[in-house]
Amino acid sequence: MTISRLPTDISLEEAMHYAELQDGRIHLTDDISPFSTRDVIRDMEYALEITPETKLILFINSPGGEYHSSIGLYDYIVRLQKLRSTYVTGFVQGQAASAASMIILQACDTRISSVHSRFLLHEPGRWGTTNIEKVSSIQDTTNDLKEIHSVVLGILADRSGKKVSVIRTELERRDVWLSATEALAWGLIDEIV
């Protein structure tokens, strides 16, 4: 960990966070939400402002979360790679469940896992509501979920080398938990350390 140009009026925790940003180390360790996505993007921007040549390492230990926030972070990482030639390594320590493994990790140039990490893959879904829903709103929700599913399947197919039809069949109507070794064989990650 490098510490330079450190402000003097900050706490130890803030100093450690600042030092990690100088080294390009970013953490996603919460549910994926508009707030956690904002924090990760802010940290990436700040890390690149401090040291523009930095290769970023995104440490992931997340139970997954909301699709729109996840795809927003995915698009942001891909844009960094294209516009700034920023190299992003995803490093899973613990778990990359749901959108953390299926979307965000897949945006990274290199996808690494610690040996005991776990990964969750599944079809997209939505939380139930207590409201009475009309048939047309249920159909709209179903169409939205199908579109989201198509996007996620395309991302997974692109990175894993598997056909969309194969992935769709493997995930249909069930949750699939994978060990790091299984995730490597599946094409979800590139390396185990």
Question: Cβ-count burial of 116 within 10 angstroms (0-12 exposed, 13-18 middle, 19+ buried)?
Answer: exposed
Q: CATH number, domain at 113?
A: 3.90.226.10
Q: What residue numbers bound the domain in which 75 lies?
A: 12-192
The number of C-alpha atoms within 13 Å of 154 and in the hemisphere containing its C-beta is: 7
d(CA 125, CA 132): 18
Using alpha carbons, list the distances in angstroms from residue 136 to 139, 142, 146.
5, 10, 15
Catalytic residues: 98, 122
The lowest-confidence range among 44-48, 129-133, 139-143 is 129-133
What's the pLDDT at 128?
Answer: 60
Least confident range from 95-104, 121-130, 131-140, 184-193: namely 121-130
pLDDT band at 130 (very low <50, low <70, confident <90, very high): low
Is 62 part of any domain?
Answer: yes
The verdict on residue 17 lying in a domain is yes
Domain total of the chain:
1
Residue 97 has pLDDT above 80, yes or no: yes
Would you state the torsion angle of the CA atoms of residues 40, 162, 182, 121, taken in this order, to the nearest 10 degrees? 50
Q: Is 21 domain-assigned?
A: yes
Q: Give the mean model confidence (pLDDT) for residues 6-15.
A: 81
Say whether pLDDT at 12 is over 60: yes
pLDDT class of 180 with cuts at 50, 70, 90: very high
Q: Which two tokens stand for residue 150?
A: 């198509």
> What pLDDT score does 53 carry?
83
